[in-house]
């Protein structure tokens, strides 16, 4: 806790310098709640497509009721198909999937608008496509999925306050899975709850949220189950789903996000109360130095603590996995020059030997998906996904060509863990993304990831190969 407080105070003290050098560059936190940003749109920020029509206030004011509903709104259609082969030890299995998502949101009338996402994955012949492996591909909707992933009412006031209620995506909270990932066809995770964003000015954005259920990727319907309950992760889930004592009745979280110095300094401070899964406090900050247009350096630091507080008895203790007691820190340095980038990330996680994973982080909505904000998390699984304390080091070169349209990323990650099963694990990743300029909206994604585990881990080494084609209109 002392480390957490120290980082927060240090970050806040630096704001004097950041704020004093503020220029006319649009602040990213101010733009986040602007009318027309459509934060619930999973595809609005894609290089390959998505986006909306940019209208000024005079144009909007001149529109009648019907024009405000339809012309001032936005919609996107995303369709895709994917093939994946996963190997664990001496066994392997293929998985295939296809489908589409339709996103739409009206324009505002009196500050109010409505929107949602309709998802249809594998609506025909799903059983024949995937056979017995319907629960074995965490990044693909292995089963037939026809569902409403998002359905919400949104209210906005003067580019200052934005409220979303219903089935929603949450994309600015570091320890919650987003509703879009480039290797997942159906929306990643959406939540049944309420989200409030308030822009205070001077680069400060406050966020508060609460939800009582989640629809996890490839699932149909919102449930109190978390990623620890389900059986579609790489590890088959940690906690069985048939026990009501291991579910979660809800999550509440608050966060403060700051951007200053032409958006080159960023600070996040977040607190989470995961019902039945502990309390997590987290902070990170980063600063970017850019001597020239082609050359930049970025330094980041993160810190957090995870404990039981109001959850003396929880899902993990009820399943005899130990108490929740964890602390963690991380450092990251990134160098970019023109088309080449190099990143080095380090994390250390520690806690009581009697705790879950000897002090492992408990993260109910990123576990098993490698989507947490730790600097050392690779493609397949990181420290939080393994459920162990310890340290990890990740080295990641990147290569970008065709004005950002073609990108290659490689990564090597090594782990030193307190749980012997994962101590000495090494992971090698190669990913590629190609946005085809001649057909706007068409993208290709490919990955090969290989995880080498110690001999004491009887499950054996594992690997993933995936090819994914998608089109956003």
* Candidate from 57-61, 243-247, 265-269, 466-470 with smallest mean pLDDT: 57-61
pLDDT of residue 258: 98
Residue 10 has pLDDT above 70, yes or no: no
Backbone angles phi, psi at 240, to 5 degrees: -65, 155
pLDDT of residue 17: 41
Burial 265-298 (b: 16+ CB within 10 A, else e): bbbbbbebbbbbbbbbbbbbbbbbeeeeeeebeb
Whole-model pTM: value is 0.90
pLDDT of residue 310: 67
* Candidate from 8-17, 325-334, 388-397, 398-407 with smallest mean pLDDT: 8-17
* Candidate from 95-99, 309-313, 381-385 with smallest mean pLDDT: 309-313
Other C-beta atoms within 10 Å of 149: how many? 27
Separation between Cα atoms, residue 179 and residue 171, nearest integer Å: 7
Torsional class of 231: left (φ above 0), alpha (ψ -120 to 50), beta (otherwise): alpha
Give the residue with greater pLDDT, 309 vs 267: 267
The pLDDT of 86-97, averaged and rounded, is 85
pLDDT of residue 252: 97
Nearest to residue 97, comparing CAs of 163, 183, 188, 35? 183
* Candidate from 2-6, 139-143, 222-226, 461-465 with smallest mean pLDDT: 2-6
Backbone angles phi, psi at 10, to 5 degrees: -65, -45
Structural domains of the chain sorted by starting position, each given as residue range(s) with its CATH number in brackets = 2-472 (2.40.160.10)
* Candidate from 208-212, 234-238, 316-320, 373-377 with smallest mean pLDDT: 234-238
Separation between Cα atoms, residue 238 and residue 232, nearest integer Å: 11
pLDDT of residue 346: 98
* Candidate from 8-17, 398-407, 461-470 with smallest mean pLDDT: 8-17
The count of C-alpha atoms lying within 13 angstroms of the C-alpha of 269, restricted to the half-sphere facing its C-beta, is 14
Give the residue with greater pLDDT, 6 vs 262: 262
Separation between Cα atoms, residue 58 and residue 60, nearest integer Å: 5
Residue 118 has pLDDT above 50, yes or no: yes
pLDDT of residue 135: 57
Residue 315 has pLDDT above 70, yes or no: yes
The pLDDT of 410-434, averaged and rounded, is 97
pLDDT of residue 183: 84
In terms of Cβ atoms closer than 10 Å to its own Cβ (0-12, 13-18, 19+), residue 193 is buried
């Amino acid at each position: 806790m002392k480390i957490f407080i120290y980082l927060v105070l240090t970050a806040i003290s630096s704001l004097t310098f950041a704020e004093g050098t503020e220029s006319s560059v649009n602040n990213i936190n101010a733009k986040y709640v602007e009318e027309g940003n459509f934060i619930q749109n999973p595809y609005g920020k894609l290089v390959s497509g998505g986006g909306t029509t940019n209208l000024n206030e005079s144009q909007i004011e001149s529109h009648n009721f019907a024009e405000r509903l339809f012309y001032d709104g936005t919609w996107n259609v995303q369709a895709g198909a994917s093939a994946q082969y996963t190997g664990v030890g001496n066994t392997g299995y293929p998985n295939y999937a296809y489908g589409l998502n339709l996103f739409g949101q009206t324009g505002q009338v009196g500050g109010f608008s409505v929107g949602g996402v309709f998802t249809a994955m594998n609506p025909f012949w799903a059983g024949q496509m995937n056979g017995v492996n319907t629960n074995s591909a965490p990044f693909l909707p292995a089963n037939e999925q026809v569902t409403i992933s998002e359905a919400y009412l949104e209210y906005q006031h003067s580019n200052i306050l934005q409220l979303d209620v219903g089935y929603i995506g949450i994309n600015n909270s570091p320890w919650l899975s987003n509703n879009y990932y480039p290797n997942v066809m159906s929306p990643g995770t959406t939540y049944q709850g309420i989200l409030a964003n308030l822009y205070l000015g001077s680069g400060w954005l406050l966020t508060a949220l609460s939800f009582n259920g989640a629809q996890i990727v490839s699932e149909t319907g919102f449930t109190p189950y978390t990623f620890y309950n389900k059986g579609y992760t790489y590890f088959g889930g940690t906690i069985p789903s048939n026990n009501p004592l291991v579910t979660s009745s809800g999550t509440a979280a608050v966060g403060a996000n700051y951007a200053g110095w032409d958006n080159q300094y960023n600070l996040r401070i977040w607190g989470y109360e995961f019902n039945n899964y502990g309390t997590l406090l987290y902070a990170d900050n980063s600063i970017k130095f850019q001597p020239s247009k082609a050359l930049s350096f970025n330094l980041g630091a993160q810190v957090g603590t995870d404990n039981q507080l109001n959850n003396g008895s929880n899902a993990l203790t009820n399943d005899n996995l130990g108490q929740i007691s964890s602390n963690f820190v991380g450092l990251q340095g990134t160098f970019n020059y023109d088309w080449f980038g190099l990143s080095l990330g380090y994390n250390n996680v520690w806690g009581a030997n009697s705790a879950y994973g000897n002090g492992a982080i408990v993260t109910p909505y990123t576990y098993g998906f490698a989507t947490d904000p730790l600097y050392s998390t690779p493609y397949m699984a990181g420290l939080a996904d393994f459920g162990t304390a310890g340290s990890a080091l990740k080295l990641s070169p990147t290569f970008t060509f065709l004005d950002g349209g073609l990108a290659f990323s490689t990564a090597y990650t090594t782990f030193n863990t307190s749980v012997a099963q994962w101590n000495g694990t090494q992971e090698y990743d190669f990913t590629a993304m190609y946005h085809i300029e001649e057909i706007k909206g068409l993208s290709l994604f490919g990955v090969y990831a290989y995880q080498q585990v110690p001999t004491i881990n009887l499950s054996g080494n594992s690997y993933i190969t995936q090819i994914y084609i998608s089109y956003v209109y």
